[in-house]
Amino acid sequence: MATKLPPVDALLVGFGWTGALLGQELSDAGLNVLALERGGWRDTTTDFATTFIQDELRYYYRHALFQEPARETLSFRNSRSETALPMRQLGSFLPGTGVGGAGIHWNGQNWRFLPSDFLARSHNTDRYGAAAIPQDMTIQDWGVTYDDLEPYFDKWEYLCGISGKAGNIKGQIQPGGNPFEGPRTREYPNPPMEMTYGPTLFAQAANDVGLKPFPAPSANMSRAYTNPLGVQLGPCTYCGFCEKFGCGNYSKASPQTTILPVLLRKKNFALKTECEVIKINLDSDRKRAVSVTYVDTQGEEYEQPADLIVLSAFVLHNVHLLLLSGIGTPYDPSTGAGTLGKNYAYQIVSSVDVFYDDKILNPFIGAGALGMVVDEFNGDNFDHSNLGFLGGGYIACWNTNGRPIETHLVPDGTPKWGAKWKRAVVRDYLRSMSVATHGAVMSHRGNYLDLDPTYRDFLGRPLMRMTFDYTDNEHRMSDFLTGKAEQIARAMKPREIRSNPRKGHYDITPYQTTHNTGGAIMGSNPRDSVLNRYLQHWDVSNLFVMGSSTFPQNPGYNPTGTVAALALWSAQAIRTQYLKNPGPLVQA
């Protein structure tokens, strides 16, 4: 039997970015807040120190900061005709664990989605007609608009000290920024990062072919910064160990470097680590969440009651926990009925490598979000008439790293090993770089999450099962982007280029991106979505769900900026509406 604990006002399940944001907001509102985190405590000096964090083997290839599949993983198949098998080792995506979550090891590429991204169905219907959306493409509007979220994007960017150049301030296009972005109220808090050679060459070539390159918005600090909470971040040193690593310099925005020094000192906040929530418990009429059950590392079970419960774990865990708790109706792809697990999506990436004879690029001088980008082919920034696909993505020259196990580009036709391979690596390591495309994945009827009938995790719970593949829409879109990237790469006048288009089925083994989305999506009515526009569960009004699990489909940008803006938007609704009058914020 679980030991029943005294109640708290608000309970957070998972303590990464959204947990920290909600912890700060709800404790500011005077609530007694408790966060439960399945992993351990981490801090910069103890765990990410500059004396040892630059260790490619330990942190990337041996996954020191990531979720262990031995404890929790999922099963995967490309389609319902296959039997899902467990993801036995991490590959395609790298969920975090421990305090800070994936906010520790992200690159810091921070975006706002486009205004039209939030209106995926209505906007595309208006512009191209209903017939342009294939029948099995289950895209939806979000129920929230860019204008709703703008104040929260702004708040988040100032919290994190994002380095960048505005492209649109209150409707006025700004030279040097992204002319396609939605209007923002003010400039970024910090100027863009200093550019290395590779992105500079990319930007010149992009200009030459008539595009408008701009510096990527970055959560790596271009200068020392004190955020509105009074927490200080240091200038980035361009060490090239960002994504997959913690930052030893306090130079990358993370929960630890922006919020926790303030939040953890509050009297009305507590964090319990190494506590794994296994179930959300409802009352007898299943309209109210009364508590969660968690298990500690000794295997002891506890029941923690709370008035308000917020799921703030990674996208996959939020959905898994809802499935395990039996909250909501699981989605059935054969009928389209049910909403829980619906519209799982991902992103589709490709690249074009560029090789010079005469230019030393020093790829190791880098940072996670250091780069130049063009946005002409993202979202609906271009006319899709007769292209045969919807959506888009950005094309960027990121200079994230020159870590040699991971990054040693070789030209087309080079063997993968042996003397010729070695010669190419030695010749090209300092003289090569990559142009990346980062594309949207529209939701599709056959892509979803449910519980696996066979495989179980370390606590005996059914694994979540992922059924996912790219559709023709994604392949056409990605090929289109790759072609544009090739044009820019050629305009860079290199010795040669190597194009790496994305072909075939989605493959769970090579690393692509940790931008998993959907499964507990938001929307404007309970027939189509799990959550209302405030991320409140339609059926259980004291349950809120954060994270990219709320995305009805996945736009062509990195998700963290929108994840954070949604969390702050939801927190504001809780503070100003829900706490005064607990109950549904939107009538179904």
CA–CA gap between residue 434 and residue 263 (Å, rounded): 40
Nearest to 573 by CA among 533, 537, 517: 533
Stretch touching another protein by CB under 8 A, among 95-103, 135-143, 388-396, 556-564:
95-103
Distance CA 547, CA 553 (A): 13
Is the dihedral angle over the CA atoms 102, 105, 110, 111 positive or is it negative? negative
105, 320, 444, 515: which one is catalytic? 515
Angle at 77 between CA 73 and CA 82, to 5 degrees: 135
Cβ 361 vs Cβ 432: under 8 Å = yes
| Burial (Cβ within 10 Å: 0-12, 13-18, ≥19) of residue 147 | exposed
Work out which of 224, 337, 426, 459 binds another protein, going by CB under 8 A.
426
Near another protein by CB under 8 A, which window of 179-187, 192-200, 206-214, 282-290? 192-200
User: Which of 1, 130, 131, 405 contacts another protein by CB under 8 A?
Assistant: 405
Q: Cβ of residue 260: shortest distance to another protein, in angstroms?
A: 7
Q: How far is CA 64 from CA 90, 107, 247, in A?
A: 12, 16, 14
Exposed e or buried b per residue across 446-455, where buried means at least 16 C-beta atoms within 10 angstroms of its C-beta:
bbbbbbbeeb
Cβ 197 to another protein, closest distance in Å? Answer: 4
For CA atoms 84, 88, 94, 99, the dihedral sign is positive
Q: Are 520 and 320 in contact (CB under 8 A)?
A: no
Point out which span in 74-82, 148-156, 343-351, 577-585 binds another protein (CB under 8 A).
74-82
CA gap 120, 142 in Å, rounded = 8
Q: Is 334 in the site for another protein (CB under 8 A)?
A: no
Among 230, 416, 580, 588, binds another protein (CB under 8 A): 416
Residues within window 446-475 making contact with another protein, judged by CB under 8 A: 454-456, 458
Answer yes or no whether residue 526 interacts with another protein by CB under 8 A. no
- 515 as an active site residue: the answer is yes
Q: Taking CB under 8 A as the rule, does residue 56 contact another protein? A: yes
Binding mask 269-298 for another protein (x = CB under 8 A): xxxxxxx--------------------xxx
**Restricting to residues 143-172, which ones interact with another protein according to CB under 8 A?**
none
In the region spanning residues 474 to 513, those forming contacts with another protein, defined by CB under 8 A, are: 505-509
User: Does the protein bind another protein through residue 223 (CB under 8 A)?
Assistant: no
For the bound state, the minimum distance from the C-beta of residue 419 to another protein, rounded and expressed in Å, comes to: 5
Q: Which is nearer to another protein, 63 or 165 (CB)?
A: 63
Select from 39, 379, 393, 555 the one that contacts another protein (CB under 8 A): 39
Q: Is 52 in the site for another protein (CB under 8 A)?
A: yes
- Residue 299 binding another protein, by CB under 8 A: no
Residue choice 29, 169, 173, 264 for contact with another protein (CB under 8 A): 264
Stretch that binds another protein, among 85-93, 152-160, 283-291, 492-500 (CB under 8 A): 85-93
By CB under 8 A, the residues from 108 to 147 that bind another protein are: none
Nearer to another protein, 271 or 522 (CB): 271
* 111 CB burial (10 A radius; 0-12, 13-18, 19+): buried
543-545 and 301-311 as β-strands: parallel, antiparallel, unpaired?
parallel
Say how many residues make up the chain.
588
Q: What is the DSSP string of 393-438?
A: EEEEEE-----TTT-----TT--SSSHHHHHHHHHHGGGEEEEEEE
Q: Does 4 bind another protein (CB under 8 A)?
A: no
Q: Is 474 left (phi over 0), alpha (psi -120 to 50) or beta?
A: alpha
In the complex, least distance from residue 34 CB atom to another protein, rounded to whole angstroms: 4
Give me the least distance between CB of 575 and another protein, in Å please: 18
Q: Is the four-CA dihedral 37, 38, 43, 44 of positive or negative sign?
A: negative
Which listed range, 76-84, 120-128, 532-540, 544-552, lies at the site for another protein (CB under 8 A)? 76-84
Q: Which is nearer to another protein, 240 or 368 (CB)?
A: 240
- Tell me how far the alpha carbon of residue 371 is from its chain's centroid: 18
Judged by CB under 8 A, the number of residues near another protein is: 108
Asked if 7 touches another protein (CB under 8 A), the answer is yes
Among 2, 28, 29, 86, binds another protein (CB under 8 A): 86
Query: Is the backbone of residue 468 left (phi > 0), alpha (psi -120 to 50) or beta?
Result: beta
Put residue 257 in one of left, alpha, beta given phi > 0 → left and psi -120 to 50 → alpha.
alpha
Residues noted as catalytic: 515
